[in-house]
Structure 1
């Protein structure tokens, strides 16, 4: 397994595909790079794909926290620098979407188009994330799997795809408590509501229609506020790239293949 060794931690990453533009995938909280397996299968013939485990997750190291969005965005840039990736498309979900917003604001020249999925300019409250940190440090993540299943997947999808859902939740339960808490601290402080209008890269905001964590209204706000945004709502809850994998891939391919602006409208396929 390839790793990038940084001063405080190592990042586990994987590259798929051999031709086309670079596309970076950025995971949600409590998941690792396999959450994008269906996207890699559908897109690796069109893109060179970089996916990785966020610090504190999967095969990556968990340096002492708390973390900031600058830390998480800096890891993406460090990987791109190490692999000599000058520019790339970006697709991030949940905290991965917040990482994408930080990158678009702080390193826009490194990115072309960004898909910001099941995310918001502000997720939750500082108090709710502090409560989550305390609970995780006291009890770990295993006790949160039932509630996470409900937040992440519709009952119908979970019942019809138990192996897929159980594998994702098993990896969630195995996540480092300190790494998870460190990322919760970054979420507690992340708030891009006052700076979204500075994002000039084309943005596709993808929402799960039944996502209570980051509902479609949050994604519509992103699409309406950035300078060049579009919205796509797909069936599913928070992990919409898994629940609506085929439609997600279709929307992503269409968006990344466009040369014209999004024009702040519902994204039509």
Structure 2
């Protein structure tokens, strides 16, 4: 575990795998920390430099006052990769992490050579929806939204398992300021036009039971990039890397090999 002091924010990050390998960067979803990828990473091929981080207001990273902008979240990722001297990475972003991936690919073509847009979109929800969620958290904390969030995140069968408690606990223990700040960033983001200008290898992943970013929404965004691929994981919700890490890792591995990244 390490902290990168980027001035305005201090980001917690972790590097696994081969320190000299091809870089693969993971950005997690709203309300989770870098442990989101724990089950997937051991299933990936050898020879990769696996970089994970907690975005601002999440996990062990610092939590500046809300609201945040998507530009600030993209800049955080940019500064972290510059700090780590990363170039030409394969960037995997889930949910808000996928929005960060799109923004970073548009801003810094030297940093991102290929991207995976998992359970995400160029635009997620409406400003009214996010404002209502922010107001609910400010009134009753993240706990007040935890059960509806679990329904959107996971399939019915997973919600019946004891493991649900791990992810519910992770959600409610995130700093409220971080959740509110990142919610504001999502609310103000529409990447339809800039993402449509991207020309890089792109893979979209969706869960057929995702209540946050349904498959059609993910596909609509992925289709903005010519030559992109799309994979649907059945029986999974918003976090298929948790519900079906084996299939998720297989899809990533195939994309890694097709793009010559491993």
Give the TM-score normalised by the residue count of structure 1: 0.92
Partner residue of 1:3? 3
Partner residue of 1:131? 132
Distance in 2, Cα, partners of 1:56 & 1:196: 26
| Residue 251 (str. 1) matches residue 251 (str. 2) | yes
SS at match of 1:104: helix
How much does 1:44 deviate? 6.2
SS at match of 1:194: helix
Partner residue of 2:111? 110
Distance in 1, Cα, partners of 2:40 & 2:78: 22
SS at match of 1:73: helix
How much does 1:109 deviate? 2.1
Distance in 2, Cα, partners of 1:259 & 1:120: 22
In the TM superposition, what whole-angstrom CA distance separates every residue of 1:105-139 from its partner, at most 9, and x where no partner exists? 11122111100000111100011111111111121
Matches within 5 A, 1:19-34: 19-34=20-35
Does the 8 Å CA contact 1:9/1:55 hold for their aligned counterparts? Answer: yes
Structure 1 unmatched runs, 5+: 261-269
| Root-mean-square deviation (Å) | 1.4
Distance in 2, Cα, partners of 1:41 & 1:168: 20
Does the 8 Å CA contact 1:145/1:172 hold for their aligned counterparts? Answer: yes
Partner residue of 2:13? 13
Does the 8 Å CA contact 2:6/2:80 hold for their aligned counterparts? Answer: no
Does the 8 Å CA contact 2:116/2:203 hold for their aligned counterparts? Answer: yes
How much does 1:73 deviate? 1.0
Structure 2 unmatched runs, 5+: none
Distance in 1, Cα, partners of 2:184 & 2:253: 33
In the TM superposition, what whole-angstrom CA distance separates every residue of 1:46-93 from its partner, at most 9, and x where no partner exists? 411100111000100001121111111111111111111122110010
Matches within 5 A, 1:149-228: 149-160=150-161, 162-163=162-163, 165-228=164-227
Does the 8 Å CA contact 2:117/2:222 hold for their aligned counterparts? Answer: no
Does the 8 Å CA contact 2:74/2:100 hold for their aligned counterparts? Answer: yes
In the TM superposition, what whole-angstrom CA distance separates every residue of 1:189-238 from its partner, at most 9, and x where no partner exists? 11012222201111100000111211111121123211231110002111
Partner residue of 1:67? 68
Residues 1:255 and 1:219: Cα distance change in structure 2 (over 3 Å): same
How much does 1:37 deviate? 0.2
Partner residue of 1:263? none
Does the 8 Å CA contact 1:16/1:44 hold for their aligned counterparts? Answer: no
How much does 1:243 deviate? 1.0
Distance in 1, Cα, partners of 2:172 & 2:205: 26
